[in-house]
Amino acid sequence: MAEELEIKLSLDPDGLIKALDWLQAQPEAKKGSKKSLVNCYYDTSDAELNHQKAALRVRQAGGQYIQTLKTRGEFVNGAHRREEWEWPVSGPSLSLGLLADTPLGDRINLARLAPVFETNFTRQVIVLDDGEAMIECALDEGVINANGKEKPLYEVEFELVSGDPKRLLVWAERLAQRCPVFLNLISKAEQGYYLAGIHAGKSAAAEKPGASTDGQDDVDLFLHLLSNAWLEQRSVSLEGVDLQSLQVQAEACGLGQPFSELAEYLAKGGTLRHILHKPELGRCQLGLLANRERQSLGA
């Protein structure tokens, strides 16, 4: 078992091109491989695995096949932290025996697992080594397929290979200064489940306990509410969020006016679809996280 730590940003097609051009131009960058990846996700007909907050896939890259099990894990300062198991397999079919010694082995009936959806995309890798951390940037372009429906996929993932995990946020902020991004807490698997119509009951935001008096939980809650509204293509409910606290934090990182305009727009029922192309959205998301990190270091 390994642990995965990554920050994921959603972009539009033009943004993905700009992100690739900018990342390749950095002196800390080294261009890596480019691959076409076909990913088939498995679950039971009643989504037992998804309810266990896990995702299971078989990935084909050229003539190689990798079976992967991931937990949903936790959200830590803008990054996803997950447990992950990977095994090389001989073909596109599941190897059920490999799952026996994982947490799923005694939780679900493995024999009921069947294909549910696919995420198929081209991945260009850029490796960043700035002396403080080594980070693998994966730029993904493709589609999610489920039940005859299709959803476009444009993402940049910053995954920590080694070193200081805080550098993930530093590089994400730098990219947000170059092109519009959306800090997205919804994984590819969750998007697939939603498209397939079997997304597990409570959203990540609904599991949150609510805003705290020190304002730190408000950042997480705000980000989860944005991501779930993006997934469901609806307006953002800001119930339970201490917007005054977030406003103060935004002002502390020089984003007071953009955040005020964003909060006003959302409070009036505005949807994210109309502002995803605006650079202020991602900058506010990442700025709030960076400010919280600075506050925690100064405490």
Tell me: pLDDT of 204 over 70: no
* Structural domains in the chain plus CATH codes: 1-201 (2.40.320.10), 202-299 (no CATH)
Average per-residue pLDDT in the chain? 89
Q: Are 180 and 15 a contacting pair, CB within 8 Å?
A: yes
| 36 CA to centre of own chain | 20
Poorest-pLDDT segment among 84-88, 104-108, 131-135, 172-176: 104-108
Q: What is the mean pLDDT of residues 117-135?
A: 97
Residue-level pLDDT at 105: 76
Residue with more model confidence, 178 or 205: 178
Residue-level pLDDT at 295: 78
Q: How far apart are alpha carbons 71 and 50 in whole angstroms?
A: 9
Q: What is the mean pLDDT of residues 103-126?
A: 90
Backbone torsion region of residue 131, taken as left when φ is above 0, otherwise alpha when ψ lies between -120 and 50, otherwise beta: left
Q: What is the mean pLDDT of residues 166-187?
A: 95
Percent of the chain clearing pLDDT 90 (strictly above) = 72
Tell me: pLDDT of 8 over 90: yes
Residue-level pLDDT at 2: 65
If you average pLDDT over each of 176-180, 209-213, 237-241, which comes out highest? Answer: 176-180
Instruction: State the pLDDT confidence band at 262, using cuts at 50, 70 and 90.
Output: very high
Q: How far apart are alpha carbons 97 and 181 in whole angstroms?
A: 40
Tell me: pLDDT of 217 over 90: no
Instruction: State the pLDDT confidence band at 100, using cuts at 50, 70 and 90.
Output: confident
Residue-level pLDDT at 77: 63
Give Rg (Cα) of the chain.
19
Residue-level pLDDT at 293: 82
For tokens 């200064």, name the residue: 177
DSSP SS3 for 38? strand
Q: Which helix (H) or strand (E) holds 5?
A: strand 2-10
Backbone torsion region of residue 186, taken as left when φ is above 0, otherwise alpha when ψ lies between -120 and 50, otherwise beta: beta
Q: How far apart are alpha carbons 275 and 261 in whole angstroms?
A: 11
Tell me: pLDDT of 36 over 60: yes
Residue-level pLDDT at 70: 87
Closest of 54, 23, 29, 48 to residue 198, by C-alpha = 48
pLDDT digit string, tens, across residues 42-55: 999 889 888 888 89
Q: What is the mean pLDDT of residues 267-272?
A: 92
Tell me: pLDDT of 142 over 80: yes
Residue-level pLDDT at 246: 96
Poorest-pLDDT segment among 67-71, 80-84, 181-185, 208-212: 208-212
